[in-house]
Amino acid sequence: MSLAIVTGAARGIGQAIAARLAEAGHALLLVDLDERVHDTAAELGGSGVRADIADPADVTRIVAAVQEGGSAPRVLVNNAGITRDSLLRSMDEAAFRAVVRVNLGGTHALTEAIAPLLVDHGAVVNISSRAQLGNVGQFNYGIAKGGVIGLTRAHALAFAPRLRVNAVAPGFVESEMTLAMPAEVRQRVVDAIPLEVPGQPLDIAEAVEWLASDAASYVTGQVLYSCGGRSFA
């Protein structure tokens, strides 16, 4: 059985991605800073590692867990990320650096560490965001997620022909965070989506599973927007 490594997998989109990859027949190694990663891994029949992908020592621990797992790693999904939202004029340097450090730096560091372990014709799928096109209050997040797209293309070239590297860019997806928004604010966001409904974690999981599968064997260096049309509206 091949192994899929999913970061940011304790809940939300990451948990949905892990569940979908398990359904597709992959063994799972789930990574998250949230202690709930162990519960999620147990529920899905996999193993969990509590780790910070932007910490070199933790990246080393993740690599060791992959090597000790006994399954050949075939898929890496870089979903882990953080937000520190504020308007540009009030954003401090620490918030800017933290988001770039994890969302972009951590994604790069873990991919560089795991890529040599992935079997030939394996796949890396990065989670970017529609926010890289511009969102008020997400200056740091948009820059980091735009960087993930650049990183995806650079890694696609660097690791070809042995590995494929692609990205999924979600739009507004129902989650603990978005469901806690004031109802009127949430409705304004949904009204701006051409398909007129928010995304669901499963929508993103399905896109990731396709890019990781043999059905996408001739696709690399690409960005799939799963955002209900918000990327062009």
Q: Which residues are catalytic?
A: 141
**Angle, in degrees to the nearest 10, between helices 139-159 and 107-114:** 20
Closest CA to 80 of 99, 61, 63: 99
Q: Does an H or E element contain 166, and which?
A: strand 163-170
**Phi, psi of 80, rounded to the nearest 5 degrees:** -60, 140
**Phi, psi of 167, rounded to the nearest 5 degrees:** -135, 150
Closest CA to 73 of 21, 123, 148: 123
47, 28 in Cβ contact below 8 A? yes
Q: How far apart are CA 72 and CA 146, in angstroms?
A: 31
Q: How many CB atoms lie within 10 A of CB 134?
A: 10
Q: How far apart are CA 62 and CA 46, in angstroms?
A: 14
